Amino acid sequence: MTRVKKLEQEVRELTPEELKAFRQWFQEYDAESWDREIENDIRAGRLARLASEAIAEHRAGRTTEL
């Protein structure tokens, strides 16, 4: 059995209260993980081209205010 399958089984066996706590923890963990990934991409310059294109589009008047 893979680690993921083991985790899935463990999650299925949680009480409703435990599942609620796990969901909250995982949402926070996932958000922090995503933030780290984006920060690493920014530092590595992987978003520079996209940012430049977006700024150029905005300056050219091809954006819509939200």
| 11-43: pLDDT as tens digits | 999 999 999 999 999 999 999 999 999 999 999
Q: Tell me the torsion sign for CA atoms 14, 18, 20, 25.
A: negative
pTM of full prediction above 0.75: no
Give the CA distances from residue 54 to residues 5, 25, 41, 44, 62, in Å, rounded to whole numbers and listed in that order: 41, 34, 17, 18, 9
Could you tell me if 63 and 57 are in contact, meaning their C-beta atoms sit under 8 angstroms apart?
A: yes
Tell me, what DSSP letter sits at residue 26? Answer: H
Give the CA distances from residue 46 to residues 17, 35, 37, 43, 64, in Å, rounded to whole numbers and listed in that order: 41, 15, 11, 8, 25
Q: Is the pLDDT of residue 8 over 90?
A: yes
